[in-house]
Amino acid sequence: MRPQTLLLLATLLVTAPLQATEAKPQLKLTVSDAETGEPIKGMQVVLFHFSETRSTWRLVDSQVSNQKGAFAGFLRGNDHRGVYRLVLRNQKFFQQNNQNTLYPLIPVVINIDSAEPVSVAVSISETSYSVSQMTQ
- pLDDT for 122 equals 97
Highest mean pLDDT among 56-70, 72-86, 95-109: 56-70
Q: How many CA atoms lie within 13 A of 24 on its CB side?
A: 9
* pLDDT tens track for 12-48: 555 544 444 578 899 999 999 999 999 999 999 999 9
The strand pair at 74-76 and 105-112 is best described as: unpaired
Mean pLDDT estimate for the chain: 87
42 membership: H or E segment, kind and range: none
- pLDDT for 9 equals 53
**Domains of the chain with CATH codes:** 23-134 (2.60.40.180)
CA nearest to 90, candidates 134, 49, 132, 29? 29
